[in-house]
Structures are given as structure tokens and as C-alpha cells.
Amino acid sequence: MTIAVGDRLPDVKLLKATAEGPEQVQAADYFAGKTVALFAVPGAFTPTCSAKHLPGFVEKAEELKAKGVDEIVATSVNDAFVMGAWKQSAGSDDITMLADGNGEFAKETGLDADFTGFGMGHRSQRYSMLVEDGVVKQLNVEAPGDFSVSSAEHMLGQM
């Protein structure tokens, strides 16, 4: 079953990529008490993710924060070291990288995807969501191969 607007995020462990190395966080605690613009990508360093998705949230970070977003979070089924390197290479301090290395968050939200045909294994679908105090307020899931409704621009238009 896919997560929907009004549902609470699954309480799984994620790894936050930090300059000091991976830091384990519990989703329920991490998302509690704040408004988060969360976006997920099939893979760090993949073409659309690196050329459009992450840069869009970097570019629109101040506008999102001006609309009440406390934090912008990117997640992917990659390890925390890859997510940290992706942030260093293309991100900004405005984006928090949460690694879903085992795909548990993707599976529990029902937003996982099978990319084995591309040699990438099981990953996350491309989506964005606005989360308030751990509850989904907006959910924008892309059709396979598309990039439009999960963009920072689309999210801003919804706010």
C-alpha cells in the first residue's frame, strides 16, 4: 500500500550524511515538530537527479523556507557516504541528505521501484512530499521516466 496524504511517515532508521560521517536517525523523531520538504530520487549521481532534481531544490531553498519549510531533505536508496559525496559535489548546506541504504523507507512508504532491468536493483521512485510533524500533507509521485510534479517549482506552486 502506498503512503497517502494524511498518513504518518514510517518510523524506520535512516542515516544522515554529515561531515563527521553517518549519523543514525529515527524517522519519527527526525520529522517531529517541523515542516519538511522531502524529495526522493532513484539514485545519487544519476542524470536527472543530479542535473535537475537536486539543483532545483538548492535553487528554490530560500523560497521554500519563506513559505514555512524548516528543512529540505533528499533521500535515496544509497549509502550515507554516497549521499554525503553527492551533497559535497552538487548540493548545498540547505539540503539534508538522508540515506535509505537498505531501501526500508522506500518499501515502507510503498514508493519503492524495481530498477533491476537497468542494473540498479531496488530503489525509490522519484517523488516529493511536504511533511508536517511527520504527517504527509502533499505527495507528488512521478510517472516512470518523468520529472515534473516532484520538482521544487511544482511544490512551491502547491504552497
Report the catalytic residues: 49
d(CA 93, CA 109): 26
Q: Contact, 129 vs 22, CB < 8 A?
A: no
d(CA 51, CA 33): 32
Centre a 10 Å sphere on the Cβ of residue 151 and count the other Cβ atoms it contains.
20
Checking phi first, is residue 126 left (phi over 0); if not, alpha (psi -120 to 50) or beta?
beta
Q: Contact, 124 vs 42, CB < 8 A?
A: yes
Q: Identify the three-state secondary structure at position 73.
A: strand
